[in-house]
Amino acid sequence: MKEFEEMEPTGVSAELYAEVLQYYAHQMQALDGGKVEEYAATFTEDAVFGHTPGREPARTRAGILADLYEVRERFTADPQQRRHLFTMVDVEQPADGRLRVTCYALVLTTRPGNGPEMVRSCVVHDVLVREDGQLCNQERLVDHDGF
């Protein structure tokens, strides 16, 4: 095992790390608030978004939006509030300038008259890029625990 002093730093500046956390806060609050157009706009036009086991990833921003509409339609008959919580966020910036982010995601669901219930535990693998100075997802692949 390497001594702590010998380990190569893989992280990013505190400022960039905070920017990534703020990006995720905005993105997940849009999703949980039902603002699917705003959420989809956080992806690049050529983005890939794989979030459901056994299902092909959505491709392109328009494809992601269509997928989000379909998911929303499936839950229409089941009134609930979902909250996506990102934790243990690890950000790396390889030489190509893109950001590679790995984090844990917990999904909580609350139905009328009930307390919150944890319904998903996942690992999220993102590739973030800048468009017009703003962070955007170029790729998001979600691995669900237990699948």
Q: Quick one: pLDDT at residue 71? A: 87
pLDDT beyond 60 at 111? yes
Region of 145 please: left (phi>0), alpha (psi -120 to 50) or beta.
beta
pLDDT in tens, 44-83: 999 999 999 989 999 999 999 999 999 888 888 888 999 9
Q: How many whole angstroms separate alpha carbon 102 and alpha carbon 50?
A: 14
Q: Which two tokens stand for residue 42?
A: 């956080």
Range of the domain at 29: 10-144
* Cα distances (Å, whole numbers) of residue 68 to 32, 77, 99: 12, 16, 24
In a domain, 126, yes or no: yes
pTM here is: 0.89
Q: What is the domain count for the chain? A: 1
In a domain, 41, yes or no: yes
pLDDT band at 10 (very low <50, low <70, confident <90, very high): low
In a domain, 1, yes or no: no
Measured in degrees and rounded to the nearest 5, phi and psi for residue 26 equal: -65, -45
In a domain, 79, yes or no: yes
Q: CB–CB of 133/97 below 8 Å?
A: no
For position 126, which CATH number holds?
3.10.450.50
In a domain, 94, yes or no: yes
In a domain, 36, yes or no: yes
CB within 8 Å of 32: residues ≥ 6 apart: 81, 82, 83, 84
In a domain, 96, yes or no: yes
In a domain, 2, yes or no: no
pLDDT beyond 80 at 129? yes
